Amino acid sequence: MHGLVGAFALMPLQDLVEFLSRRKASGSLTCERGTVHKTVHFVEGVCVSASSNDPREFLGQLLLNFGHIDEEQLTKAFETQQETKVRLGRVLAMVGVVSPEVIRETLALKIRETLLDVFLWDSGVFRVDDAPAPPTDDLDVRVPLGDIAREAEFRATAWQAFRANFPSGTAGLVVHEERVPSDLVPGSVDDRMLRLAREGKSIDEIGLALHSTDFHLYQRLYAFRRAGVVEARVTPHAVEAPDDVSVANAALHEARAALEAGRLADAEAKASRAVELAPGVEGGSAVVAEARKRLGAWLRQELLDPPRTPRLLVPAHDVALMRLPATDKYLLARCDGSRDLRQIVQLAPLDELEVLKAMKRFVVSRMVELKG
């Protein structure tokens, strides 16, 4: 199995997973698309662990999303983890915040979500290796690859229904109050979802606020849509430019030049764009990794050493009216002086580098100040 590599455009993940399941293979499967990297380890056709650089698939984010912990508890758990070097799930179970059963259920969900998201990719590359699985303990779980493949088939059908009703994450929601269930539990995930919809948040903004994965967010929305509780506001469809290998190569050439000249933000942006346009572009992954590594080191030194507390310099009401991406609105809402930047990075359902890049933009544009 060592050295098996390919592209999803030629071999869909469904075929690959079914092959590994039938063979009762052991090793690791790494999937890459653009700047997203995911790895699952499996033993005799059964997944035993998963890692991802998509923060929505982190254990802490999943526990937040399903209401098992709150942000204050997660912040304290991160502090304990940093002091003890004990795994986050173990920390939460040891202090009694979450039961071992819930940790195991959420770890199983983490494994499934890490791989199930890749079934939706129409581009990207994969690599299968003979790498041994990480050490396990009594909190670890086992999820058969065959079960994940069958769930992926169900989700493919479900996504067709979701997208037919909610074509774009930039759309807002109309709430039909007369249809809202009378027994909705205050403070529940569904209650918070409807409250955010009433505030005019887009679907993408709601997902960030709830720390939700895409599938579970749209699953909840679809259930409300079928009950007549919500519907999407009509918004114009964005037109995406087609992938272009020549454009990707040109962007990658510019990224290398920017990297050599020390223009790290420019290099990272151009390299990321190149691998988005053509995931298999030669040398793309290496340039992206180097640019992100150097840019991340520079931003961490500037913004997190020591960590300071961000505060808005513009009225929060004005931010709500600005035409900003959902991620920017989410982060600006956290700049209320209650947490330092390191805590915001830990809690955000966003990649650390993306948070630091955004915060640097906010500081340069005088939207935010960092107080020591």
DSSP symbols for 317-354: HHHHHS---HHHHHHHHH-BSSS-HHHHHHHSSS-HHH
* Per-residue CA distances from 323 to 229, 285, 302, 319 (Å): 27, 32, 28, 8
pLDDT at 240: 47
Distance from C-alpha of 88 to C-alpha of 79, rounded to nearest angstrom: 10
Q: Are strands 368-371 and 309-312 parallel, antiparallel or unpaired?
A: antiparallel
Dihedral, 203, 208, 212, 216 alpha carbons, nearest 10: 10
pLDDT at 238: 46
Per the listing, tokens 């005019």 go with 200
pLDDT at 239: 47
Contact present, 65 and 216 (Cβ < 8 Å): yes
Query: Of 124, 136, 118, which is closest to residue 41 (Cα–Cα)?
Result: 136
Beta bridge partners of 369: 311
Structure pTM? Answer: 0.79
Q: Which residues, 6 or more positions from 156, have their beta carbon under 8 angstroms from its beta carbon?
A: 119
DSSP state of 184: P
Q: Count other C-beta atoms under 10 Å from residue 184's C-beta.
A: 12
* Per-residue CA distances from 319 to 126, 313, 332, 345, 369 (Å): 40, 10, 8, 20, 15
**Which H or E element spans position 37?**
strand 36-43
Distance from C-alpha of 143 to C-alpha of 150, rounded to nearest angstrom: 12
Query: Of 219, 215, 217, 14, which is closest to residue 113 (Cα–Cα)?
Result: 215
Q: Which residues, 6 or more positions from 69, have their beta carbon under 8 angstroms from its beta carbon?
A: 60, 63, 77, 92, 97, 98
SS3 state of residue 66? coil
pLDDT by residue for the chain (372 residues), tens only, comes to 567 899 888 889 999 999 999 999 999 999 998 889 999 999 999 999 999 999 989 999 999 988 899 999 999 999 999 899 999 999 999 999 999 999 999 999 999 999 999 998 888 889 999 888 777 778 889 999 999 999 999 999 999 999 999 999 999 999 999 999 999 999 899 999 999 999 999 999 999 999 999 999 999 999 999 999 999 987 655 444 444 678 888 989 999 999 999 999 999 999 988 888 877 778 888 899 999 999 999 999 999 998 899 999 999 888 888 888 999 999 999 999 999 999 999 999 999 999 999 999 999 999 999 998
DSSP symbols for 200-249: T--HHHHHHHTT--HHHHHHHHHHHHHTTSEEEPP-PPP-PPPP-HHHHH
DSSP symbols for 124-136: -EEEEE-PPPPP-
pLDDT at 236: 54
Q: Count other C-beta atoms under 10 Å from residue 264's C-beta.
A: 20
